[in-house]
Structure 1
Amino acid sequence: MEPPSSLDPPEEVVELPPRTSSFPSSFIYNLPPRGSHDVHNDNNYHADNNDDYLDEFELEGLVMTSNACSHSPSVFSSVGSGSGAGGRSRIRTRAQNTYTHLLRHCSPVMALCSLAWNPHNRSTSAIALLFIAFLCMAILTKNDVMAWHRSIFSHTSHKKSTKLDPFSNLTTEQRQSLLKTIYGTYTFYDGSAEDRPSTPYMTEANAGNAYLDLPSEKFPLESWQADAVYANHFLDASEKLVKRAMQAIFATYHGHGLSDVHVVVSQQQQQADVSEDGGEEEGKVEYSMEDADERSSRRSKMFHLEEIDLHKVTSIEELEAVAPSWDKKGGWTTERSFDGLKRRLIHAMMTNSNFTVVITGSWQSMGYGGNHAWQSMAGVFETLLKGLFEKLGVSLVVRAIGLPPLTGLSLEEEMELAKGARSTFIHALGFSSIYGSDVDMIVWDDYSSKEDGTSSHALDEFGAQLFDFFARQALLSGTTHLPFIWGGDFTVLRNLHEHADADIGQLGNALLGVPETSSRKVAYDLPWAAQYLNCSKDMQSTCEDEVHLFESRCWVEQPEFVPPTPQLDHIPILPSAIGWRMHQLKGYTLVYILLQATLDSLFEWSDITISQGFPLADEYWHMGKYIENVQDKIRSLDESSAPHCFQLEEKINLPKRLCTHKMKGRTEFTPRADPSETNVRSIIDSSQEISKMTHLLLDGNEVENPIRTIPKGEVDALEIFDLRGKRRLLPGLLMERNVTRVNGVEVDYIDGHLNAQYRRRSVAITPGDGWQVLNGLGDDCDGSLSSTISCGRLPSSTCLLEDHQGSRGGIWGNETTEWLVLHGIDTENGYVALNLEVGDRNKTRQDLLNSLPDSFVIEYAVDGTITSLDKSFFEKSKQPVPGMTLVNVFNDETIKEAKDVIVAVRLKGCVDSTSCRIAVTHVYWS
C-alpha cells in the first residue's frame, strides 16, 4: 500500500491581471482614492524681473535636477517621523523611491516641454507643467497614488474590486515568502519510502472483509500506518495544512489581516541606484497584522457548527430556540454524528481510499440558470478540497448530480416543483446505481425556492415524505459505505438519528460572518468575495441586480478554432436562479465544516496513538459493524417510529416495502455515477441495435476562461492551500469525437428526430428496430468537474464553457420501432417500474394529452405477459412529481428470493401524430 504522496516545493505564483466582467454596464463608479497622499512641491525657484523669459540656467536646472537628486540620498535625511530608526528608514526609503522615479522619468519631459513655451504665455505654461508633473507622479509612483489613478482614469466598470493590491510593492518572491511566513507550508515527505512494503496489504482478501477493516496485527511493520516516525510527522504536517486551509477560507471574506506591507532595504541598498531594468530593491518585508486570537474568534463564530441534543430538541421550533440563526452560520449536527463523520475520514486516510461526496438538489442549488458549473457549490467544494485531500492520501470524489430546469411546465407544476424535495425523487428510486453505492457523505439541497434566492429549510408534508424515501435509499445503497447526510427535513432527520443511528445534520451558509455591504463605497472596500453578499436593507435592491449576482462567459476567441454555432455573450439568467457569490459562500462553508471534522479526526488520531502506539487501534476507524448496525435498523423501521416514507403508498402508489429495501436503476439522464455502466442501454437485449448519437466535442486548445482568475490583490484560497501553481483554472481542452449517422444524416444528442421506416410487427415479444438515444450528453458525465472536458460540448451549443452536465436523455421510439426489450433486471423484492416520457416535452401535460388520439396505447410486457395502457390511464394518473410518468410494471410482494425479469415496452395506435412517440428514461427495480 503506497503512503500518502509527498508534496514538491510550491511552484512560483505568477500575478495575473484583474478579471473583467462579461456583463455590459450602464454606469461607472468613480470612487474616491483610498489612502492616497497629497503631493507637495517645496522647491523654490529663481526668476528675474522678466517673468516671461526662461533663461538657460532655469532650463539647465530642470534637466539636471533628476541626476542631482536621484544620486543624493541626503536629500531625504530628514524625511519621516516614524518611531525608531526602523520607522524613519522605512518612510525615507519609500519617499526616496517615489521621488527618484518621478525625477528620473518626468524631469526631462518637463524640461523638453518647456522648449515649446511661448514667452508671452509663461503663466499658462507653468500651470501645464505642473499638471504634467502631477500626471507623471500618478502614473509612475508605486504607492497609494495608484489607487487614485485607477479610479479616475478607468473607463470600464465591473463588479470586481479595483482597490489597491496590498502586495503591490512586493516582488513575486517577496509576496510568496510573506504568505508562507503567515500561513506556513506543507513540507512533509516520506524519508523511508524505499522501505515500504511492495506487496499491497490493504486488500479485501488480507482484511478478511469488504470494508478494508484491516486488523492492526496485519499491518506490516514497514507500513506507514505502523511507522511511528512517519505517522507522527504525517499527523503534524496534516494538522498544520488543514489549519492553514481553514484560515484561507476565512481570509477570502476578511482579507489576510495585513496592513502597512512594505520593504525595508539596507543602508547600502538605499544608497544604490535602482537597477537598470527598473526593478525593485530586495529587502526585508515588514507588515502589521490583526490580532490572531481575535481573527480566530471571528472565524469560529462565522462557521460555528452547533451540536444539538436530539433527545431534548424535538421540533424545528425548538431547534431555532436552542441554535438561533444556525442556517446563517455553519449549521448543526449531533455529537455522535460528528464522531461518525470523523470515523469515515480516518478510515479513508488509514486505507488510502476514496472519500465520495454526492451533492444534489434543485436546479437552482446546482448552479443552473446563469452560472458555470465550477461556480456552483459543488464546483467550489471540489476545486478547493481535492488537492488537499490528496496530501492526506485520500482521493476525493465529488459527484454533482442534478438536472437543468424542466420545459413545458404549467404554472401549477412550476409552483409544485418549487416546494422542495421534488427534484431529487426521480433519481432516488434508483439511488444505489444513479448516485452510487460508494457514497461517504451526501449534501441534499432540494429545499423550497424563495424569490430572494435563499432557501427555507422547512418542507411541506409531501416533501418530507419524499425526503424520507431519499434518505433511506441513501443509507441502504452501499455495501461497504454509509453516507453522512447533510440536509433535509428536521423531523425525518431526527427520526433516522434516534431510531436508526444515522449520522445527520443541516448545513448553514455562514452569511452572518460576511462583512455587510451597506453602500457602494463600503462594497468597494470589502474583499472581492464579500462584496454585495450580506447586504443591508437599503442595499438589497442593488445587491440583487444581476450585474452583482452573476458573471459568466460562454466563449473566448481562439485563433485556431471558431465554434460552428454562434456563442452567447454570457449564460442566460433564469428567474429564481442563485448567483455565484452565494454558491461560493455555501461551497466554502461546506469545505470548512469538512476541514473541521478532518482536523478533529487528526487530533483524535494523534492523542490516541500517544498512549496506545501505532497503528491506530481498530475500534477507532473500522466501519463494518458501524455500517451494518445502521442498515439493519433502517430495514427494521416501522410506521409508528418513522411514518413519512410509508405514507407514499397512498400518495403516489409507491409500495411500502421500498422504504426498507435498496433500489437499483438505469437512466439516460446525466450526470450519474459510473455513467458507462448505468445507462438504460446496458440492460437492453444484446440483439437489439440502438442508434447511439455520440456527441461531437470540438477540437481545439485549452480554453482559459478569464473570469476564473482571482482578481489581483484579492485572497486566493487555493494559493494558500498551496494546491495550484499559477492560477485557479481547470482543464478545458476541447476534443473531437466520432459522430454516428442515422440514414446518412448527422445528428447529436440534442437534435435529431425519429426516422425509422413505418412497418407492422406481430405481437410476439421480439426486439424492434429504430429506437434511438436522444437528448442526452453521453457516457462521460459523472458529475465531477474533471469530466466536463469530455461531457456534453455539442456543436449545437451556444455556450461551450458552461460545463453543466445535466441532460434528460431517453431511448425514443414510435409505433414503427416495436418492442424495446430490457434484460438483466435482478429483482429481489418483486418491484420493477419505468419512467416514461410521451410526445413533445415542450408542451404542458394537458396540451400533450389533448394532442394524442383516442387510439393511443402503450403496451408493456413482463416475462411475456402484456398489459395495455390507453389514453385514459394517463389522463387519470397523477404524476408523482412534475416531469415524471411512473409506471409500476411489476409489483409482486410475495417474491422472497432473487428473480431475473424481462421487461418490454412499445407504442401503438398513432403513427401519424408528431406527439406519438415515447421514451424510456429510467428503469427502477428492487
Structure 2
Amino acid sequence: MEDPEEYGLEMESLIEETGGRIDVPRIKSSAPTNPSPPSRNRKQIILFALCIIAAAWLLSPAKVDQNTLVTDVEDLPEAANVEDTTIDIEDGLDIRVPEAPEQDPLIDPSSSSSHGHTTIINVPATVEALHPEKPGFQHPPPYFSSAYVRRARHDRTNLPELAKKWGSWTLEDKTPRPNLESLYAQYPNRDVPLSAFPPNAWQVDPEYLPQFVDQGIALTERAMAAMLAEYGHYEGGPLEDAFRDLTKDDPAFMFNMSMPNVPYNRKHPPGNAGRTSETTLQFIRKHLLHSIMTEDKFFLTMGGHSSSAGHGNHFTQSYIMQVQRALEPILARLGVYHISRNVGMGGLGTVHNGLASQSFYGGDNAILVWNSGMTEGDIKPRDIFARQGLLGGDRVPVLFGQPVNGRYDGLCGAGYWGSGEWGDGYAGIPETATYDDIKHLPYATLFLICSKEMNAECRKSGYNGVCWIDRKDYTPEKQLDVMGGRAKWHPGNWMHQLFSRLIAYNIIKVLRNALVDWRDLNNYTLPDSEFHITDEFERIRTAVRNDTTSQCFDIGLPDAICNIPFQGHSEFTPRANPATTSIRRILRSDMDVGQPKPNAYDPPDVYNPALDPPDGHIDYLAIVENGVDFVPLRARYENLHQQLNPPAYSTTAAKSSLVPGKGWQIHESVGAPDNCDATYDSFCNRAESMNCLLYGHNDARAFFIGDGLSGWLLMTLNQVKEGYIIVRLVKAKPNDNTKTLGWKCENNEETCAHPLSDEEANAPTSKEFPEKFQVEYSIDGVVHTWTAEQFTEQLVEVERLMEFSVLLNAPEQFAGKPPKDIELGIRIVGGRDATFGFSHVYWA
C-alpha cells in the first residue's frame, strides 16, 4: 500500500520521475526562462460570440515578488531559477479582437433548412437569456457558439492582401438544404448510403460538390504551405512547390512521415515527423471522409504526463491545443466539428483514465494518442489504454504514439488497428547560433537548436508566457511573473508548436489527398466504402474482444478490463465530459459533501500576445481562417446542446437503510472543475488561491476525503451489466479532513459507543492505521468488511500511485440478466486516524 507521504496525488504535488523516454521532443538547452513579449500598450475589444460588446482593456502586467515559488514540487529547482521579467508596455497602439460572424451561435439547426454549409439567420440576442451561468463557473464565449469563432488577430492583417497572396474561402451555399438528422439516425454510425441522400442534399448536388471539393483542396494546400512557410521552407509562388517530394536532402523532410513496410519495431529516420503505416493513414482518411459526408465530428485526444500536458507553458500553448488551433478552422469549413483534448496529468501515467477510456478520454475520438513514456514504462497499463480506447464509446479511434520497440506486436500483428509514433522534426530547424539569428530566422524556429554560445539565451527565451495581465474587473492579490513547471524535461512553447505542426500537417495531408481522389471520381460520386465506418468498427472490436494474448491479462485486475468497455466517474480533471462524469453527479441526493470552488473571475481572458506570432511573421491561423463567415455546424450544436442540457441522473436502485455520512468533503478541488474538459476553450483552475491565473492547465487531483468519523459515502452506479465494480480508495494525508475536526462520534452524533476524548478529537492524527481500523463497503445494502491486513492484501498496484480495489467480480450473477442500478457505499472505521481519499469508481 502507498505511503501517504509518497502519495502526492491527494496530499501535495509530486516530484515527477525523469527517467525513461520523453515522448515530446526537448530543446537541446534546458530550462529556459520567460522572454519579454512584444512591447505595446494594447487595447482590445472583446467579442462575445452571440452579441458584439465593445470594451477597452488597458494591459499592463502585475509585478510580483519573484521569490514566491510555485507549488508544483516537481519543478521547484527550475522555478527557483526563473529570472524576473516585466512586460514594458508602450502607449498609443489600439488592438482589436476580430468580430465574429453575424450569425447565431445558438440557433437550433433543426429549425433551419440549412445543412450546416449555409448561414443560419434569425438569431437570439444574448446567450445569457438562453443559458445563464453562475459567476465563477462560466464558460468563454466560443463555448456557446454553434459556429467556429475566429481565433486569429485579423485586426492587424490586411485580409484582401492576404487573400491575394494565399487565397481564401469564398464558397457560400445559397441552396436550401434538408435537415438530415432523422436520416442519419436510421443507420448505425450515421452510415447513410449515398443512394439514400435526397436529391437536394449537398452530398449529391452535382453543381455544389465541385466547388466544395475544390475549395477544400485549396484550403488544405494553403494550410500545408503556411506551415512550411512558418519554418522557412516555402517562400511563395505556386502552391505546388509546397508539395514536392520530401526527401532526406530537403529541409522540409521534417514534415515527412516514413512508412516502412517492415515490422513495427522499425525506427523512423531521425529528424522527420515520425513513422506510421498505410493502414493507419487509410483509417484516418475514412474517419475524415465519414465526418464530412455525415456532418459529424472529428476528435483527437491525448493521454499523457506533465511534459506532454505542456507544464511550464500556457495550457493553450501545449501541442495538443495547438493541434486543435491548426485543424479546427479547416474542418469547420468542411462542415466538421473538431476539438482536441489534452488529458495530460503531471506525475501520473494513463491507467486511472484508461480503465474507463470512454468516460474520461471520450468515446468519440477519431485519434487517441498515448504520450506518457516518462511515467508509464510498463507495457500492461499501456495495453489497458489501447484496449479500452478501442472498445468503449461510439467510435473506434486510430491509436497513435505507441513505442516502436516491439510493444503491441501481437496486437498490431493481428492487423486490426494501425499505430505509429511522432518524430521531432529537427531536420528542418536551423540553428540559433548568434543573437543576430534571433532577428532574421523564422520566428517558429527560434530557440529549438542552439549553439554553445547561445545556450544561455535559449535557456532564457525558450518559453513565452506570463501569469497575469491586468483586467478591469478583477485584481488578484499576488501572482507570479511567469508560471512554474519549467523543468529540463518540459519543452517550451516553440517545441510544442513544432510538435503540433508535425501532427496537423500529416492529418491535413491525408485530408488533402482524400479530397483530390474525390475530385477525380466520376461526377464526384463517393462510394459508400470510402466513408462508411461501421464494418471497420465491428471488425476491430471483435478482434480485440477475442484476443487473449495481451499483457493486459497479467495486470491483476479482472480479465474483463481487457475485453469489456468500462465506464467510470472521478473528481480528477481533466475529463472529456466533466459535468457528467464526476462522482458528485452519482452521489445519493441526501449526501452533503460541499461544493467545488469557483473561478476568481469569469471569461474571457484579456488578449495575451504570447499566443500569436509577432507582426511581420507568418500567421498560420490568419491565412487559414481568411474568407467568408463561418457557418453553424450541426455536430457542434448537438454537442453544445448536450453539454448545456445533460440528462438528469436518475436511478432505479432502492435506497438502502444506510445513513448518509456527514463527514466527507471535496478535497483539492480546482476552480470550476466541471469546465475542465481538456479543450482549447476550457476555463477552469482559476480559483483565488491560484498564483498563476493565466496558466490555464486543467490537470488536478481532487477527491473525496473521509475518515473513521465521516460515515457512509453513498452513490448509485447506473446500468451495471457484467458484474464488475472497481474503486480507487487510498490512504490520504492525516489531518487533511478538516470537516471532522473536533468530532467525537461518527457523523458528529452526540452519543456513540466509543466517543473520542477531547484530546483525540482535536489533536493531529497519526500516520499509522488505528488499532480498530476497518474498511466497509456496501453493495445494495449488503455490507462487507476488510481489516487493515485484508485491505492491504487485496490492493492491486497497477503502477506507481495507482492502487485499486475490486469490490465486485461476479459475472456469473449477472449473466443473462438485464442491467441494474446498484447503490454503492464506502465507510471507514477507526476514528480520525484513518483518513482516506476516494477518487475513482469504475464498473461494467
- Superposition TM-score, scaled by structure 2 size: 0.70
1:718-769 per-position Cα deviation (integer Å, ceiling 9, x unaligned) = 122135999xxxxxxxxxxxxxxxxxxxxxxxxxxxxxxxxxxxx9633222
Q: Who is 1:799 aligned against?
A: 692
User: Pairwise mapping of residues 156-167 of structure 1 onto structure 2 (< 5 A)?
Assistant: none
User: Pairwise mapping of residues 229-248 of structure 1 onto structure 2 (< 5 A)?
Assistant: 229-248=207-226
1:441-479 per-position Cα deviation (integer Å, ceiling 9, x unaligned) = 112111227xxxxxxxxx74xx22211111010000123
Letter in 2 for 1:530: T
Checking the alignment, whether the CA contact within 8 Å between 2:321 and 2:341 is kept in structure 1 is: no
Distance 1:475 1:548, change over 3 A: same
1:119-147 per-position Cα deviation (integer Å, ceiling 9, x unaligned) = xxxxxxxxxxxxxxxxxxxxxxxxxxxxx
For residue 594 of structure 1, report the CA deviation from its aligned partner.
1.0
Q: Who is 1:324 aligned against?
A: 269
What secondary structure does 2:585 align onto?
helix
1:404-435 per-position Cα deviation (integer Å, ceiling 9, x unaligned) = 34xxxxxxxxxxxxxxxx61111111111111
What secondary structure does 1:440 align onto?
strand
C-alpha distance in 2, partners of 1:404/1:356?
Answer: 23
Residues 1:307 and 2:224 aligned together: no
Checking the alignment, whether the CA contact within 8 Å between 2:252 and 2:428 is kept in structure 1 is: no
What secondary structure does 1:785 align onto?
coil
Checking the alignment, whether the CA contact within 8 Å between 1:21 and 1:707 is kept in structure 2 is: no
Q: Who is 1:201 aligned against?
A: 180
Residues 1:486 and 2:428 aligned together: no
Q: Who is 1:525 aligned against?
A: 440
Distance 1:188 1:26, change over 3 A: closer
Checking the alignment, whether the CA contact within 8 Å between 2:61 and 2:470 is kept in structure 1 is: no
C-alpha distance in 2, partners of 1:697/1:723?
Answer: 35
C-alpha distance in 2, partners of 1:910/1:570?
Answer: 43
C-alpha distance in 1, partners of 2:518/2:324?
Answer: 25
Q: Who is 1:440 aligned against?
A: 366
Residues 1:625 and 2:577 aligned together: no
Residues 1:689 and 2:580 aligned together: no
Q: Who is 1:675 aligned against?
A: 578
C-alpha distance in 1, partners of 2:156/2:697?
Answer: 37
Q: Who is 2:551 aligned against?
A: 644
C-alpha distance in 1, partners of 2:706/2:657?
Answer: 18
For residue 396 of structure 1, report the CA deviation from its aligned partner.
0.2
Residues 1:402 and 2:316 aligned together: no
Checking the alignment, whether the CA contact within 8 Å between 2:231 and 2:445 is kept in structure 1 is: yes
What secondary structure does 1:398 align onto?
strand
Paired residue for 2:772, among 855, 869, 872?
855
Distance 1:438 1:841, change over 3 A: farther
- Stretch of structure 1 that moved more, 485-494 or 622-631: 485-494
User: Pairwise mapping of residues 476-515 of structure 1 onto structure 2 (< 5 A)?
Assistant: 476-479=391-394, 481-490=395-404, 491-515=406-430
Distance 1:559 1:665, change over 3 A: closer
Paired residue for 1:573, among 479, 485, 493?
485
For residue 617 of structure 1, report the CA deviation from its aligned partner.
1.9
Q: Who is 1:226 aligned against?
A: 204
Alpha carbon RMSD of aligned pairs, Å?
3.5
Residues 1:887 and 2:832 aligned together: no
Paired residue for 1:616, among 526, 539, 545?
526
Checking the alignment, whether the CA contact within 8 Å between 1:363 and 1:403 is kept in structure 2 is: yes
Checking the alignment, whether the CA contact within 8 Å between 2:721 and 2:820 is kept in structure 1 is: yes
C-alpha distance in 2, partners of 1:174/1:399?
Answer: 29
Q: Who is 2:839 aligned against?
A: 921
Paired residue for 2:333, among 368, 372, 391?
391
Checking the alignment, whether the CA contact within 8 Å between 1:19 and 1:711 is kept in structure 2 is: no
Checking the alignment, whether the CA contact within 8 Å between 1:697 and 1:792 is kept in structure 2 is: no
Q: Who is 2:815 aligned against?
A: 896
User: Structure 1 stretches of 5 or more lacking a match?
Assistant: 1-16, 28-170, 259-286, 406-421, 450-458, 727-762
What number of residue pairs does the alignment pair up? 640
Q: Who is 1:604 aligned against?
A: 517
Checking the alignment, whether the CA contact within 8 Å between 2:796 and 2:805 is kept in structure 1 is: no
User: Pairwise mapping of residues 783-794 of structure 1 onto structure 2 (< 5 A)?
Assistant: 783-788=678-683, 791-794=684-687
Paired residue for 1:781, among 657, 676, 681?
676
What secondary structure does 1:400 align onto?
strand
Q: Which has the larger radius of gyration?
A: 1
C-alpha distance in 1, partners of 2:171/2:627?
Answer: 17
Checking the alignment, whether the CA contact within 8 Å between 1:849 and 1:875 is kept in structure 2 is: no
Distance 1:542 1:655, change over 3 A: same
C-alpha distance in 1, partners of 2:516/2:446?
Answer: 35
Distance 1:291 1:438, change over 3 A: closer
For residue 551 of structure 1, report the CA deviation from its aligned partner.
2.2
Checking the alignment, whether the CA contact within 8 Å between 1:256 and 1:715 is kept in structure 2 is: no
1:9-50 per-position Cα deviation (integer Å, ceiling 9, x unaligned) = xxxxxxxx99999975799xxxxxxxxxxxxxxxxxxxxxxx
For residue 573 of structure 1, report the CA deviation from its aligned partner.
3.1
Q: Who is 1:591 aligned against?
A: 504
User: Pairwise mapping of residues 703-714 of structure 1 onto structure 2 (< 5 A)?
Assistant: 703-714=606-617
Checking the alignment, whether the CA contact within 8 Å between 1:839 and 1:848 is kept in structure 2 is: no
Checking the alignment, whether the CA contact within 8 Å between 2:254 and 2:273 is kept in structure 1 is: yes
Letter in 2 for 1:382: Q
C-alpha distance in 2, partners of 1:288/1:818?
Answer: 72
Checking the alignment, whether the CA contact within 8 Å between 2:203 and 2:209 is kept in structure 1 is: yes
Checking the alignment, whether the CA contact within 8 Å between 1:571 and 1:802 is kept in structure 2 is: yes
What secondary structure does 2:306 align onto?
coil
For residue 690 of structure 1, report the CA deviation from its aligned partner.
3.1
Work out which structure has the larger RCO, using CA pairs closer than 8 Å and 6 or more positions apart in sequence.
2
Q: Comparing both structures, which one devotes a greater share of its residues to helix?
A: 1
Letter in 2 for 1:800: L
C-alpha distance in 2, partners of 1:890/1:173?
Answer: 60
Q: Who is 1:908 aligned against?
A: 829
What secondary structure does 1:466 align onto?
helix
Paired residue for 1:334, among 277, 289, 294?
277
Letter in 2 for 1:396: H
1:333-389 per-position Cα deviation (integer Å, ceiling 9, x unaligned) = 111221111010000000111111112211111112x11101101121112221121
1:837-868 per-position Cα deviation (integer Å, ceiling 9, x unaligned) = 3322899xxx9994443333222122333333
Distance 1:484 1:543, change over 3 A: farther
Checking the alignment, whether the CA contact within 8 Å between 1:813 and 1:917 is kept in structure 2 is: yes
Paired residue for 2:387, among 466, 472, 484?
472
1:234-271 per-position Cα deviation (integer Å, ceiling 9, x unaligned) = 0000101001101111111117627xxxxxxxxxxxxx
Residues 1:182 and 2:179 aligned together: no
Q: Who is 2:557 aligned against?
A: 654
Residues 1:358 and 2:301 aligned together: yes
C-alpha distance in 1, partners of 2:61/2:223?
Answer: 24
Paired residue for 1:831, among 724, 734, 741?
724
For residue 701 of structure 1, report the CA deviation from its aligned partner.
6.9
Checking the alignment, whether the CA contact within 8 Å between 2:587 and 2:715 is kept in structure 1 is: yes
User: Pairwise mapping of residues 262-281 of structure 1 onto structure 2 (< 5 A)?
Assistant: none
For residue 794 of structure 1, report the CA deviation from its aligned partner.
0.7
Letter in 2 for 1:921: S
C-alpha distance in 2, partners of 1:300/1:529?
Answer: 14
Percent of pairs with identical residues: 27
C-alpha distance in 1, partners of 2:408/2:434?
Answer: 40
Distance 1:584 1:605, change over 3 A: same
User: Structure 2 stretches of 5 or more lacking a match?
Assistant: 1-58, 65-81, 87-153, 630-655, 737-763
